[in-house]
A and B are shown apart, each in its own frame.
Chain A
Amino acid sequence: MNGRIARLLAVGVIGVLSAMVASAGMARTELENAIPVTPKGLLALAGNKGANVQVVDLRKLSDDDDDVGGYQDARVPGALPMPDCDPAKVPTAAFGRIRADIPTVLVSRDGDAATFARCRTAFLRVRNLEGGFAAWSEAGLPEEDGPYVAPKAGAGGGCL
């Protein structure tokens, strides 16, 4: 076979295979985003240093009318506040710490699918906490409260 034709053929085959891999990779991301993480699953992720997951809490900062409460009443340790998924409502201390490019778990009051769907576009790889903070609390998992305090330099970001 002519060398030039063989080369073109090989490059063509590699191009098609690359497209197939890219397509399967995008499908993987979409599927991963669709599967909620359970509270215990999130706790396991927290123990995995290599996972580098950021937790973003979408609840109001404080909510006395709700039995689950707001971000400052109780939250997943290390969670970053982003009330109503509105960047304008992020407290000054947390401003700039929420990143769109790292794997993210969104925490709402009860894991509401509509809230997740509204906010997921702000992140590249994002999963919903199944049952929201209500489920986390019900499972008796560790919590922290009070206003968000940025970690000191060298202590890591807002990731678990």
Chain B
Amino acid sequence: MTRFEKFAYPAIAVALLLAWFGLSRGNEALRTQAPASHVARGAR
């Protein structure tokens, strides 16, 4: 791996992890407002 890759791959992974974390938290908040049928579907 090049020096650039040693920096870039972890940076991309952390960015993706943060994006996933943010989306997941947002989805949890939205599930409290969504009709029950959609909450059940999202939980499966």
A residues in contact (CB < 8 Å) with B:
3, 6-7, 10-11, 13-14, 17-18, 20-21, 24-25, 27-28, 30-32, 34-35
Dominant secondary structure of chain A at its interface with chain B: helix
Complex Cα distance, B2 from A125, in Å, reads 42
Count of chain B residues near A, Cβ 8 A: 23
Residues of A with C-beta under 8 A to B5: 7, 10
Complex Cα distance, B26 from A159, in Å, reads 26
Distance in Å: Cβ of A129 to nearest Cβ of chain B = 15
Dominant secondary structure of chain B at its interface with chain A: helix
Q: Are A20 and B20 in contact (CB under 8 A)?
A: yes
Distance in Å: Cβ of B2 to nearest Cβ of chain A = 8
Complex Cα distance, B34 from A143, in Å, reads 28
* Subset of 28 A-B contacts with CB under 8 Å: A6-B1, A7-B1, A7-B9, A10-B1, A14-B12, A14-B13, A14-B16, A17-B13, A17-B17, A21-B16, A21-B19, A21-B20, A24-B24, A25-B23, A27-B42, A28-B27, A28-B30, A30-B38, A30-B41, A31-B30, A31-B31, A31-B34, A31-B38, A31-B42, A32-B30, A34-B34, A35-B30, A35-B34
Complex Cα distance, B12 from A32, in Å, reads 27
